Structure 1
Amino acid sequence: MNKKVLLWGGIAAAVLLCLCVGVFILGAGVTFFGLTSSEEPQDVSVDISAPSQATVGQSFDLLITINNFAGRSRELNSIDVDADLLEGLRVTGTTPPADSYDTFGFFDSYFFYTSLPANGTAEVTLHLQAQAEGTYTGWVDTCIDDEASCVRRTISIAISK
């Protein structure tokens, strides 16, 4: 076979491979961005109260207070917890109880589908247990009306033995 044909065939194969890899990386990036990006909802505020320190084995609560300033009812869709927090903490339950739960690898979601009254306040408590020594920092998203409209708050908890 001719060396030119082999050379051009090799170049064509390399270009095709690069295109395929590029499309894969672009698709993965778009998917990741779509799953992790959100727009903060209007007329809602979220406050999180949690201890800054705990000891391994200790149980404690993370209180989420949601204020709906809209003149209409809204829906608490879900509360999402960053996997970085879950490396040292375990969620043992929620109050009110979540309707369902799912894990997405880099965060866990607790779905509530609960009505937030117009101009009202609601509270959700995540019951946690400290699992491993270290300082754990991550985000908690409170998603209103759908899973892409979230208020993000970052917390940090130092766990000692």
Structure 2
Amino acid sequence: MSSLKPILWGFGIFFAICLLAIVSIGLLLNHSMQDVEGVDVTLTNKTNVQVGETFDLVITVTNERPEETLDLSDIDIYHDYLDGFTVADIQPKPKSTMGDPFGEFRTFTFASKIPPGASKDFTFTLQAQQAGIFRGDVDICEDLQFVTSMAQTVVTEAE
């Protein structure tokens, strides 16, 4: 019986550690799935363009927080939208860009601080590459939290 006691203690400690890990992961996922609070996002773009036409997608991010700076880390634009276009220019220039591991969106890292009550424009100059209806999410990220807007542009063949 005395050799069984350490084994039971070991299983008990292992079970407690696993339970703690599961609860911690759940809390982290719950926190990261919440929208960024105190942020307003406005997308301005042409809704109808022709193949070859260039236009601006302007993402205006407003920090509506009374006292807290918004630490905008990234803007994610989903490929459902970007697949119809070539990104010709971005202002301000992002610090880096990369695709996500699952190929769903492209991340533009800005690491931009927006003071309380201020707004900042992020302008993506796009050139239409193919005809179709292109619609996709645009995520404004602050660390692991984000707020989502939708971009849509209809591209027709050039006349």
Long gaps (5+) in structure 1: 1-33
Identify the match of residue 131 of structure 2 among 130, 133, 146: 133
The number of aligned residues is 125
Cα distance in 2 for partners of 1:55, 1:98 equals 27
Match of 1:157 in 2: 153
Code of the residue aligned with 2:154 in structure 1: it is A
How well do the aligned residues superpose, as a CA RMSD in angstroms? 1.6
- For residues 118-140 of structure 1, the C-alpha deviation after alignment (integer angstroms, 9 at most, x for no partner) is 22111111111111011111111
Query: Where in structure 1 do 4 or more consecutive aligned residues deviate above 6 Å?
Result: none
Aligned AA for 2:36? P
Q: Which runs of 5+ in 2 are unaligned?
A: 1-28
Task: Report what 2:36 is aligned to.
Answer: 41
**SS of the counterpart of 1:129?**
strand
Structure 1 counterpart of 2:71, from 75, 93, 100: 75
Q: Which residue of 2 aligns with 1:9?
A: none
Q: Which residue is equivalent to 1:60?
A: 55
Q: Distance in 2 between matches of 1:58 and 1:111?
A: 26
CA distance in 1, matches of 2:145, 2:95: 19
Partner of 2:88: 92
**1:85 CA displacement:** 1.0
Match of 2:115 in 1: 117
Paired residue secondary structure (2:57): strand
| TM score, norm. by length of structure 1 | 0.73
Give the percent of matched residue pairs that are identical in Structure 1 and Structure 2. Answer: 29
Distance 2:152 2:118 in 1: 28
**Separation in 2 of the partners of 1:76 and 1:95?**
15
How far has the Cα of 1:93 moved from its partner? 2.1
Check if 1:50 corresponds to 2:48. no
